[in-house]
Amino acid sequence: MLEKKRQDGKGIDELRIISPSGESSCCGGSSQEIALLEGDEIRTQVQQYYADRAENLNSCCGDSSQNLLYESDLLQDLPEDIASFSLGCGDPITLAQLQAGEIVLDLGSGGGLDCFLAGRQIGEHGRVIGIDMTPEMLQRARSAAERMGIKNVEFRKGFLEQLPVEDGSVDVIISNCVINLSPDKPAVFAEMFRTLKPGGRVSVSDIVSSGELPEQIKKDMLAWGACIAGALEMDEYVHGLEQAGFEEVKLVAKSGEGDLLEKIPQNSLFSASITARKPVSYGSR
Ligand X SMILES: C[S@@+](CC[C@H](N)C(=O)[O-])C[C@H]1O[C@@H](n2cnc3c(N)ncnc32)[C@H](O)[C@@H]1O
Stretch that binds ligand X, among 11-19, 29-37, 177-185, 231-239 (CB under 6 A): 177-185
- The beta-strand segments (E) located in the chain are 16-17, 103-107, 127-132, 153-157, 170-176, 196-209, 232-233, 247-253, 268-277
Binding mask 140-169 for ligand X (x = CB under 6 A): -------------------xxx--------
Minimum Å gap between C-beta 10 and ligand X is 28
192 counts as binding ligand X under rule CB under 6 A: no
Stretch that binds ligand X, among 33-41, 127-135, 237-245, 271-279 (CB under 6 A): 127-135
Backbone angles phi, psi at 166, to 5 degrees: -65, 155
The count of residues interacting with ligand X (CB under 6 A) is: 27
User: For the residues of 18-58, what is the DSSP string, one character each?
Assistant: --TT-PPPTT-----B-S---HHHHHHHHHHHHHHHHHH-S
17: how many CB neighbours lie within 10 A of its CB? 18
Minimum Å gap between C-beta 92 and ligand X is 8
41: how many CB neighbours lie within 10 A of its CB? 14
190 counts as binding ligand X under rule CB under 6 A: no
Stretch that binds ligand X, among 10-18, 172-180, 195-203, 241-249 (CB under 6 A): 172-180
Q: Contacts with ligand X in 42-81 (CB under 6 A)? A: 43, 46-47, 50
Distances (CA, A) of 15 to 34, 62, 209, 214, 272: 18, 27, 10, 8, 17
Look at residues 225, 170, 180 and name the one whose alpha carbon lies nearest to residue 52: 225
Minimum Å gap between C-beta 137 and ligand X is 4
Q: Across the strands, what pairs with 251?
A: 2, 274
Minimum Å gap between C-beta 181 and ligand X is 4
Among 17, 18, 37, 178, the residue binding ligand X under the rule CB under 6 A is 178
Q: Which residues bind ligand X (CB under 6 A)?
A: 27, 43, 46-47, 50, 86-88, 108-111, 113-114, 132-134, 137, 159-161, 176-178, 181-182, 227
